[in-house]
A and B are shown apart, each in its own frame.
Chain A
Amino acid sequence: MTLGDYQRPTDLQEALRLRASGSWKILAGGTDHYPSAAHQQAWGQSQSPNILDITGIDELEGISETDAEFRIGATTKWSAFADPALPSLFEALATASLAVGGQQIQNQGTIAGNLCNASPAADGVPPLLVMDADIELASERGLRRVPLGSFILGNRKTALESDEILTAVLVPKSRSDETRTTFLKLGARRYLVISIVMVAGRIDLNESGVIESAALAVGACSPVAQRLPRLEKKLIGRSVTEDLSALVVETDLSDLSPISDPRADDAYRRDVARTLVQRTLQHLVSPPKEAAA
């Protein structure tokens, strides 16, 4: 019986060197690693992976900005998105962050962990999809940048190479006069619950309140959260004074492939997805005083 190695470098280059040098499981918030370790142990299937703990690398945590984009460091915690100084572009992500676990999880879980774990029900994915986020991947070979939609390949599958570390999520700044985002989640209770369905939405408006671009993403209804391009296209040119929810038709959601599991069956998920998409559009044009899914 052996326990694996554990390294907690404070320098990114050192982390990348280690990462390239052997087989490592990357640890940050621990909110996925430890639960799976508990499950494995209970069924006599313990593993002792070598742990590369990246929480000692200060440069990986926090939100910064350039003229063109926001940079969300890999180990930025959910609770960082509650910062009221962040622009409205972040509102969907901030709302999602409050729906992840309880405050303990929000203080521990990281944005990179949520993406690399690649759960179909990852609460961070739909908001980041409507933010047109890119993923920055670093290795000793250099940096590369891929759109979020190309990074998550399937249920628990990502494009992360074995020598790479996800270092940041990059979000382009909005160039419109006004940007609104929102997020709705259906769970069996308010806290400590995995999403049955979630929807993130975004509209960019010109000065007369006409939609210049729109984005909608549905999570927990397919192996990877999906944008709804057909519906998004219909929204362009519409005014925020209209009832946008009336534009939603069945075929807008036909690419979803929800499963039946203990949380809900596929038909219920499909029904809820449509309802939440409609409510998302209602919230975007007239934000409710108290959001309720």
Chain B
Amino acid sequence: MSPDGMQGAGADSAYRDDGETLVTSFSLNGREVSVRAHPSSRLTAVLRDELGETGTKVGCDAGDCGACTVSLNGKQVCACLTALGQVQGQSVFTIEGQSEPEPATDTKELSVLQQAFHDYGAAQCGICTPGMVMAAQDLLDRVARPTEAEVLDAIGGVLCRCTGYRKIVDAILSVGVGTSLGDIRSDGHVGSALPRLDGFGKISGADAYGADDIPQDALWLRVVRSRHHAAQFTLGDLQSVVDKTPGLDRILTAEDVPVNSFGIYPHLKDQPVLADGFVRYRGEAVLALVGKKAVVEQFNDDTLPISWQALPEVMDTDAATADGAPTLHENSPGNVLIRGHVERGEVAAALQGSAVTSERFFETSFVEHGYIEPEAGYAFCTETGTSGDTTSAGAARMTVVVSTQTPYMDRDEIAHVLGLSGPEVRVTPTACGGGFGGKLDMSVQPLVAVASWQMKRPVACVYSRTESMAASTKRHPSKISARAAADSTGKLTAFGFDGDFNTGAYASWGPTVAGRVPVHATGPYFVPNILNRSRAIYTNGPPSGAFRGFGVPQSAIAHECLMDDLAEQLQMDPLEFRALNAIKVGDKTATGQVLEASVGQGACLDALRPHWKELRAQAEQRNANSSGPIRHGVGVGCMWYGCGNTSMSNPSEMVVGLTKSGQFVLFNGAMEIGQGSGTIMAQICAEALGIPVQCFSQIMGVAPKFSKKIHV
């Protein structure tokens, strides 16, 4: 920024075009700033785009997530709901004001509160952390020693999707009572309580997420989306729209995409980057508007020459598999994408001959991942040298900088879409503000890559929360019919499962769900007779993809309800029933795999048993003593889940380099998305080499460099 702190709004600000130069001045983290921007601009946009202070995050622009929490005159507010005009002459504090810069070193020290977040592991993916810290500081400024209830009230307006809040609450309480975990740093080997190696950037707000470091000269891309679940469309003269819209440089269509298909499985690339005359879900990308940010954001899609013809839609698996249902994809007649089948023994006979049986129907809905960071990134064409780091790109012709869980898969998918080879594309992952499976699929990647490829300019795209919800993948809705039987001693005899999983408009990870479910559907129990069947079915819903467990959690609802049913019929304790049937070393799973190493199921239940007994007794006592509407109960639920990829090999390797100065460098390919892989991988490595973890630096998820620089 310029020396006087003045920042200009984009030249496209109509407010200024009207001849008015409105300057808003306010105090930001104790220093006076002046900004030229439309006074109804959100304070978030002003802080981030005009003042370059990107520690304040944007999760929803609607006051729903609290990631943009700042202090306005000593009270926490959502900057996304605050008009710039309202802060004229007022005092604003942001995460950047939490810690004081050290003049000597030009580094920042964490505040006491931030240090507590670090020590307690209160920041995972880190996207909510700046808002969480600001909300907590608001409380601590008013109440020196808050109660837990006060802490909960204070941070109630900030959503965290990683931690479950407990560590955040503990961190804030610790500041109030002045306790500290003390020096918990150690050699950092596996099992030690190590503060996250990447914690500083997340807690200070310094880490750059997908929307935080977009080049000034980037064009912006906004997607025109289908408002129909199913429709055909034809396009009119788009060039004339471009010609008469200043600041709109291009409207991209399906014709502009070199290879207009992508998808997780090599043989199932069934999703177009831009729809080609036919849309299969509401929210599907139809066109891409590319130009000045304010122009594409404010553009009215109703003025586009698109002629729509709505088609009948199928919104659930029953409708999609009914006679005469419209076919979504030609190569999947009846809309069945794939079937899964695991069978052993004689289920029908075993069900018939057992002492007790239970059969039930279960239905679950779409679930949105709700990572607080919406999809965001930008691309630049390395050939033209217009932007970015061209020297270290090697052979890469296209670079995409994006928030993602899977830079390597993204690289191959982008290369496929552009008609390039893998090494011709470089994907640079930014910090990732939550994924939970949802950022395993591409979102903005092919759009910005195609636009940048066509226009030879850097192009950025940041989804709004609304777009993220409409367009991104979801957890598969399921319809499950399941049955189980046991003999009179409580031993399971048979298990049957039929599940239809709504995979939405495109395949995405549907085959993984259909494949994993029948393998896991019995739960962590030994059952001699098994018939588990699954189907992934196309509908006109949003694509269902990967979400924490690939359909297995849906199945767990079914098998655990059946376990409770059988235990109740046999008048057995639900935990003891599970313990009796727990799968153990030497047992065969449904697929015939013999579990040869450790199987923790029995040990887990043994460890739970005393607590279970105590809690059950407490609940009974509380209910006996209470006449109010609240009743207490205790339940037990078990689930298992195979690590890695089901039914395929799972090779993995770890590569360590040694720099000339003697520093170890770990090339970490397990993208850090809040789960801690940026720390635990280094811990494993340190232990293996027998040196302290502090001796390592890391390079995270950068594929081309990875393949070139390794080989110790």
Contacts and interface: CB of A to CB of B under 8 A. Distances in A.
B224 A107 contact: no
B156 A102 contact: yes
Interface string A109-137: 00000000000000000000000000000
Nearest to B39: A6
A102 B158 contact: yes
Contacts of A230: none
A37 B159 CA distance: 21
Contacts of A42: 225, 464-467, 470
Looking at B39, B40, B69, the one whose CB has the most chain A CB atoms below 10 A away is B40
Interface string B549-560: 000000000000
A38 B68 CA distance: 15
Interface string A58-102: 000000000000000000000100000000000000000010011
Nearest to B159: A192
A27 interface: yes
Contacts of B301: 43-45
Contacts of A31: 63, 81
Given A1-B294, A46-B298, A191-B157, A104 B135 contact: yes
Contacts of B224: 44
A201 interface: no
Contact of A46 (B63, B77, B81, B299): B299
A103 B76 contact: yes
B94 to A, nearest CB: 14
Interface string B448-465: 000000000000000011
Most chain A CB atoms below 10 A, which of B17, B60, B222, B629: B629
Which of A34, A42, A101 has the most B CB atoms < 10 Å from its CB?
A42
Nearest to A46: B298
Contact of B464 (A41, A107, A288): A41
A35 B153 contact: no
Given A35-B61, A104-B135, A3 B38 contact: yes
A40 B64 CA distance: 16
Most buried by A among B17, B86, B297, B470: B86
User: Which of A30, A37, A102 has the largest number of chain B CB atoms within 10 A?
Assistant: A102
A289 B398 CA distance: 64
Contacts of A38: 60-62, 464-466
B154 interface: yes
B6 interface: no
A144 interface: no
Contact of B156 (A37, A41, A45, A103): A103
Nearest to A275: B629
Interface residues of B, number: 62
Nearest to B292: A1
B250 interface: no
Interface residues of A, number: 41
A226 interface: no
B225 A43 contact: yes
A55 B76 CA distance: 17
B85 interface: yes
B157 A102 contact: yes
B466 A39 contact: yes
Interface stretch (B8-16, B100-108, B409-417, B599-607): B8-16
A290 to B, nearest CB: 10
Contact of A3 (B15, B72, B302): B15
B229 interface: no
Contacts of B157: 101-105, 191-192
A34 B80 contact: yes
A254 interface: no
B86 A55 contact: yes
A104 B295 contact: no
| Interface-centre pick from A43, A55, A288 (highest chain B CB count, 10 A) | A43
B628 to A, nearest CB: 8
Contacts of A288: 628
Contacts of B227: 43
A292 B83 CA distance: 36
A48 B72 CA distance: 26
B624 interface: no
B376 to A, nearest CB: 14
Interface string A1-32: 11110101000000000000000000101110
A292 B630 CA distance: 9
Given A1-B298, A6-B38, A51-B83, A107 B225 contact: no
B195 interface: no
A108 interface: yes
Interface string B82-123: 110110100000000000000000000000000000000000
Given A4-B40, A102-B156, A192-B159, A34 B61 contact: yes
Contacts of A191: 156-157
Contacts of A192: 64, 66, 156-157, 159
Q: Which of B63, B76, B78, B630 has the most CB of A within 10 A?
A: B63
A45 B299 CA distance: 7
B14 A1 contact: yes
B476 interface: no
Contacts of A101: 63, 157
Interface in B465-518: 465-467, 470
B685 to A, nearest CB: 40
A125 B246 CA distance: 46
Contacts of B38: 3, 6
B138 interface: yes
Interface string B149-168: 00011111111000000000
B300 A46 contact: yes
B135 A103 contact: yes
A163 interface: no
A6 B300 CA distance: 21
Which 5 pairs from chain A and chain B are nearest by CB? A102-B157, A44-B301, A191-B156, A42-B466, A35-B62
25 contacts: A1-B246, A3-B13, A3-B298, A4-B40, A6-B83, A27-B83, A34-B61, A34-B80, A35-B62, A35-B81, A41-B464, A44-B300, A44-B302, A46-B299, A46-B300, A53-B83, A101-B63, A102-B158, A103-B154, A103-B157, A104-B76, A108-B63, A191-B156, A192-B157, A292-B629
Interface of B: 12-15, 17, 22, 38-40, 42, 60-64, 66, 69, 72, 75-78, 80-83, 85-86, 88, 135, 138, 152-159, 222, 224-225, 227, 245-247, 294-295, 297-302, 464-467, 470, 628-630
Given A3-B40, A103-B157, A108-B63, 10 more contacts: A8-B88, A34-B42, A41-B464, A42-B225, A42-B467, A53-B85, A104-B69, A108-B77, A191-B156, A288-B628
